[in-house]
Amino acid sequence: MPYVPFTKEMKETHTILIPNMLPIHFKLVSRILNNFGYKTELLTTTNASIAETGLKYVHNDTCYPAILVIGQMLEALMSGKYDTKKCALMLFQTGGGCRASNYVSLMRKALENAGMPYVPVLPLGLAGIEKHPGFENSIPMYHRMVYAVLYGDLLMSLAHQVRPYEITKGDADALCDRWVDRLDRELQHKTINYAKIKKNYDEIIRDFAAVPREKREAVRVGIVGEIYVKFSPLGNNNLEKFLVSEGAEVVLPGLADFFNYCLYNGVVDYQLYGKGKFSHVLNQIGFDFICGKQKDQIAAIEKEGTFRAMTPFSHTVELAKGYIGYGTKMGEGWLLTAEMIELAESGVKNIVCTQPFGCLPNHICGKGMMKPIKEKIPGVNIVAIDYDAGASAVNQENRLKLMLAAARRNLELSAE
């Protein structure tokens, strides 16, 4: 299908709507785009009609994240809030082998059926799928986005460790908002001062450590799965909020791990198949760069001493050995298995595996790997939850409550 290019003139006139997968990370990414001259707006709607709108314009056999993302964008365009002839849509695209790689074409087909074929759709990614004269894939912009992801992972991890215990509800979220505003201003600078970034890590950690908290031990619950339903409150029916309301502490591997997974796959392709002789060198450089930055975050957390640090991704990679091959990389592939093992190894043995109904790669690498993980790691308590437009939220919550009940019993027994 011919696409509508995003022209240089559109950069001045159009608002780019962005779907919200990770609230903290995507706020920073949206503001970075604004700082580079684009006018963006992050969609934060979560109403039930989004799925209905998606189903109206997307086949119901299409994966649930596509139904939600397309439904959210179409609903925004139909809301009357925007001049649809001055709007563009941005989709984050990895270019992999699963159904997610069809989001852009599905979005354009939905726009045509909705009578808005003139709305440009921008795939954001380094794959270079299309040419859009008004959108520049600049290295300085992506460089800042890397730090937005790293900052987002740090803020998310600390907020998860504070939120269930905070004496004044909302302290963790308010602190995240304050830091997002500050980091936005700092990322506008022409140059990135890494010494300043490391100083920010220390300040962020101290600020979260200063939040008044209850002294109690809560059940820790890890979340893994397909990237959208794993992270998105819209995609997982506010799973994190539900777990916190039940007194649990959420543990969620960061977005940087997914990027490292994609980069490492480029390295493995050369090792396994001799594919990408030049690109594998670039992938290795990117992988080493992000791993190095992640280690600096871990060192800062461990130095302050209040919070648990994330697992180095270089170690997460090693955990997959003996369970699943590195050539298994459709969807979240071997990373999904490795993250479950990573959580269990770090003492988080209660795990929710989130997956869109019918997502074959994640059913194999998630649900399909539960048995061998349980056989090798005693005491792991994993529940697989399917998310779909027709799935019952009550049924999902009841299954989660059963898992939490077993987790609380195990916590009480371990304390005796």
The residue written with tokens 């987002």 in the block is 152
Residues of the chain with CATH 3.40.50: 8-135, 218-253+311-415
Closest C-alpha to 142, from 244, 216, 242, 33: 33
pLDDT tens profile 96-143? 666 666 788 889 999 999 999 999 999 886 655 678 899 988 888 989
pLDDT, averaged across the chain = 91
pLDDT tens profile 351-373? 999 998 878 888 888 889 999 99
The residue written with tokens 């809030």 in the block is 81
Separation CA 326–CA 328 (nearest Å) = 5
Give the pLDDT score at 326. 92
Flag whether pLDDT at 256 surpasses 90.
Answer: yes
pLDDT tens profile 7-28? 999 999 999 999 989 999 999 9
Chain Cα centroid distance, residue 185? 23
Neighbours of 413 (CB within 10 A): 8
Closest C-alpha to 110, from 67, 76, 80, 81: 67
Closest C-alpha to 236, from 102, 70, 387: 387
pLDDT tens profile 218-237? 999 999 999 999 999 999 99
Residues 6+ apart with CB under 8 A from 354: 223, 224, 225, 226, 229, 230, 235, 236, 239, 385, 387
Give the pLDDT score at 128. 57
pLDDT tens profile 372-398? 999 999 889 999 999 988 888 888 999
pTM to 2 decimal places: 0.93
Lowest-confidence segment of 86-95, 154-163, 289-298 by average pLDDT = 86-95
Give the pLDDT score at 1. 57
Torsion of the alpha carbons at 259, 264, 269 and 275, rounded to the nearest 10 = 80
Sign of CA dihedral 198, 200, 206, 209: negative
Radius of gyration, CA atoms only, the chain: 21
Task: Using DSSP, state whether 352 is helix, strand or coil.
Answer: strand
Closest C-alpha to 250, from 229, 230, 226: 230
Flag whether pLDDT at 214 surpasses 70.
Answer: yes
pLDDT tens profile 174-193? 999 999 999 998 888 778 89
Percent of the chain whose predicted confidence (pLDDT) is above 70: 96
Flag whether pLDDT at 411 surpasses 60.
Answer: yes
**Domain 218-253+311-415: CATH architecture, name and number where available:** 3-Layer(aba) Sandwich (3.40)
Neighbours of 268 (CB within 10 A): 19
Flag whether pLDDT at 416 surpasses 70.
Answer: no
CATH classification for the domain delimited by 8-135, as one of 3.40.50, 3.30.460, 3.30.1360, 1.10.3680: 3.40.50
Neighbours of 49 (CB within 10 A): 11
pLDDT tens profile 30-58? 999 999 999 999 999 888 899 999 999 98
Flag whether pLDDT at 415 surpasses 70.
Answer: no
Please check whether residue 217 is in contact with residue 414, taking contact to mean a CB–CB distance below 8 angstroms. no
Q: How distant, in Å, are the alpha carbons of 246, 248, 384 from that of 337?
A: 26, 23, 13
Q: Give DSSP secondary structure letters for 179-227.
A: HHHHHHHHTTSSS--HHHHHHHHHHHHHHHHTS-B------EEEEEESH
Please check whether residue 354 is in contact with residue 236, taking contact to mean a CB–CB distance below 8 angstroms. yes
Consecutive H or E run containing 319: helix 313-319
Q: What is the DSSP-derived secondary structure letter of residue 100? A: G
